[in-house]
Amino acid sequence: MEPHLKKAVDSGGALPLMEAFYTIQGEGYHKGSAAFFVRIGGCDVGCHWCDVKESWDANLHPPTYVGEIVAQAKQCSDVVVVTGGEPLMWDMQPLTDAFKEAGIKTHIETSGAYPLSGEWDWICLSPKKRMLPKQEIYAKANELKVIVYNTDDLQFAEQQAQYVSNTCKLYLQPEWSRRDTAIPLIVNHVLENPKWLASLQTHKYLKIP
């Protein structure tokens, strides 16, 4: 990598961009709404059920200047969802500053395993057992989304819910490959604990990105 580009990556002025696309949000609180998605490469959380394992190695994805990312988003939407990978492995401040300057609302989907950076209009925290969230992010999370693979994940979800604010939306979402067995678990848990809401990956049913 050329020195000037490496310097830009280190400072957050450029990011390993895996893909960027305009689609309908499929999960959680904003499901059904249009948004521009920015998928940042790099993740070491290592969820065995991850459906975008190709995002894990940041070196596979070209460093892209923040200005180029914002220019793409401006053509499509006034809402952007930054996801990964794990986007907080990188300094998000330059990216969110540029989005704000362009009048674009900023959403992030993160495990919270790295320090929070950037200015966000909506934070979806999806904690993982292998690398727990940093304490600082719990109070700022607007949405807690726990992926349910088995019954242990329901216990984990209840533990994580203790740390977020009273206004944080709580979602249980089946892991896609286990949805036939996970959905009944989620339904029963929500009926018994109505503070929780059920979330589905509706974009997969719609067959869109």
CA dist 6 and 93 (Å) reads 17
CB 143 within 8 A of CB 124: yes
pLDDT at 26: 96
pLDDT at 166: 97
**The residue type at 63:** P
Express each pLDDT in 114-140 by its tens digit: 999 999 999 999 999 999 999 999 999
152: its two tokens: 């242990």
CA dist 134 and 33 (Å) reads 29
Spatial CA neighbour of 195 closest among 167, 155, 163: 167
Q: Which fold has domain 3-206?
A: TIM Barrel (3.20.20)
Rounded percentage of the chain residues whose pLDDT exceeds 70: 100
Is the model's pLDDT at 177 over the cut of 80?
A: yes
Cis amide prior to 85 (ω within 30 degrees): yes
Express each pLDDT in 67-85 by its tens digit: 999 999 999 999 999 999 9
Rounded percentage of the chain residues whose pLDDT exceeds 90: 93
Residue 157 carries which DSSP code?
H
**Any idea where the domains of the chain sit in the sequence?**
3-206
pTM reported for the whole predicted model? 0.96
